Amino acid sequence: MSGARSKLALFLCGCYVVALGAHTGEESVAEHHEAEYYVAAVYEHPSILSLNPLALISRQEALELMNQNLDIYEQQVMTAAQKDVQIIVFPEDGIHGFNFTRTSIYPFLDFMPSPQVVRWNPCLEPHRFNDTEVLQRLSCMAIRGDMFLVANLGTKQPCHSSDPRCPKDGRYQFNTNVVFSNNGTLVDRYRKHNLYFEAAFDVPLKVDLITFDTPFAGRFGIFTCFDILFFDPAIRVLRDYKVKHVVYPTAWMNQLPLLAAIEIQKAFAVAFGINVLAANIHHPVLGMTGSGIHTPLESFWYHDMENPKSHLIIAQVAKNPVGLIGAENATGETDPSHSKFLKILPGDPYCEKDAQEVHCDEATKWNVNAPPTFHSEMMYDNFTLVPVWGKEGYLHVCSNGLCCYLLYERPTLSKELYALGVFDGLHTVHGTYYIQVCALVRCGGLGFDTCGQEITEATGIFEFHLWGNFSTSYIFPLFLTSGMTLEVPDQLGWENDHYFLRKSRLSSGLVTAALYGRLYERD
């Protein structure tokens, strides 16, 4: 589905959606206010893949396949140009595909000179370096569309035996993002650092911390797919270079309830108060879909596990993104639910808790349910959970050093099981990294063992505060409602050494609301 909810228009190999504001229903991009906005595009691409990625083929055969994908890219650029797009982002693996060996991918690799050393316009200087046909086409597209262009391709770099890390075949092979300016100049390149089962590629000796400047929106950061879960380069680029915009090619396989593509993209934008331009590849049979243009307060997204067609998203984006109101910036009168939350926070001197009730001053009290705790697998991790029963209540559940709390009210009860879960430990499947998670999830059925299953539809409506005593400041708010719809928290922030998420007035049934903490130093 499209998160822009705007008019869909069929064209060529796919469709595009133009968005002015989240859920506005307006059909075209008006003239952007030069002082406030720029126009961006991301393209979700159903790449044409090699029928046998393990086979050894010639460079010419590899170019024939890649040119089919590049032809589609060029069509998208020209469509975007008609809407005055200033920057377009294409997905990871969109040109060459995936599942190669180190040897079989070699014909698909372009030679990549360092943009820090060589100033080069591949379109205007095509004969300067050999094996750069893909770079040449991308450069010419940027010129034709008069826009900055970000794409992903495989690249090669010769190395010498004197280099102790030089592979035996005498070359490095990198998963590489490239950035071209609107005049076709190669502005910079980023080589993926956190590879995801990519035996064809090498990890760069040093982490690429890449930013690039644009005349329309200032500085952008760049990284790829799995990088988003790690400190280097994603967090370090934001911390050290003060970027407000990130371009993010990805080939992300969705995994619910916590790591759907649009879910983590949006969480990153909200957590850091930045804009994220995310382009995913489109292969629903492999669980690969989910692209978006995300600001902290609104998103224009696409997620479709049924439709095999491509999708182009175009949106106006604020040059200076506005973040959520944090606890430290909140003003005005506090509503009753937030007053309850502030009173019930652990350690509050005005409240004491026993097994059944919370007693606060002004004779305020409400039931504290004490349902059974249970364990269930979620995202391959052993979560400790408690069921969420009744129309209102206060729950908590702990694991290791992390305790998670939920204060909730429900206008009506649905025939669904929800649970509050906690995990504090090292995740070891499909990557190794330390996480602290507090999650309110809809279970797959009515049995406790179904909590953590992948579901996309729900009817349960909640007004709630979710919080925990996290040991990290790097916390990502994951928030999905029925039909893979993105929600924005009403408020996020620290209160009394606990990090909380607050939400009322859901647009549809709750699928997932979670605080996903990363402790990078424990990886």
Distance of CA 87 to the CA centre of its chain: 18
**CA dihedral sign of residues 92, 96, 102, 107:** negative
Whose CA is closest to 44, among 285, 348, 301, 267? Answer: 301
146 torsion bin: left (phi>0), alpha (psi -120 to 50), beta (else): left
- The question of whether 156 is a catalytic residue gets the answer no
Distance CA 95, CA 373 (A): 48
Q: How would you write 243-287 as a 3-class SS string? A: CCEEEEEECCECECCCECHHHHHHHHHHHHCCEEEEEEECEHHHC
Q: Which listed residue (192, 244, 266, 503) is catalytic?
A: 192
Question: Is the preceding omega at residue 115 within 30 degrees of 0, hence cis?
Answer: no
517 torsion bin: left (phi>0), alpha (psi -120 to 50), beta (else): beta
Distance CA 280, CA 286 (A): 12
- The question of whether 133 is a catalytic residue gets the answer no
CB distance 192 to 225 below 8 Å: yes
Question: Is the preceding omega at residue 91 within 30 degrees of 0, hence cis?
Answer: no
Q: Could you give the angle at the alpha carbon of 223 between the alpha carbons of 115 and 292, nearest 5°?
A: 125
CB distance 311 to 284 below 8 Å: no
184 torsion bin: left (phi>0), alpha (psi -120 to 50), beta (else): left
Buried-exposed string 141-171: b where 16+ CB fall within 10 A, e elsewhere: bbbbbebbbbbbbbbbbeeeeeeeeeeeeeb
**CA dihedral sign of residues 251, 256, 259, 260:** positive
Distance CA 337, CA 32 (A): 40
CB distance 46 to 286 below 8 Å: no
Beta carbons within 10 angstroms of residue 136's beta carbon: 20
Instruction: Tell me how long the chain is.
Output: 523
Using the structure block, give the residue that is written with the tokens 């209540």. 393
Q: Which listed residue (44, 92, 298, 416) is catalytic?
A: 92
The amino acid at residue 402 is: L
Q: Which listed residue (123, 140, 225, 438) is catalytic?
A: 225
Distance CA 272, CA 246 (A): 11
- The question of whether 225 is a catalytic residue gets the answer yes
Distance CA 62, CA 262 (A): 31
Helix or strand holding residue 60 (H, E): helix 59-81
* Residues assigned a catalytic role: 92, 192, 225
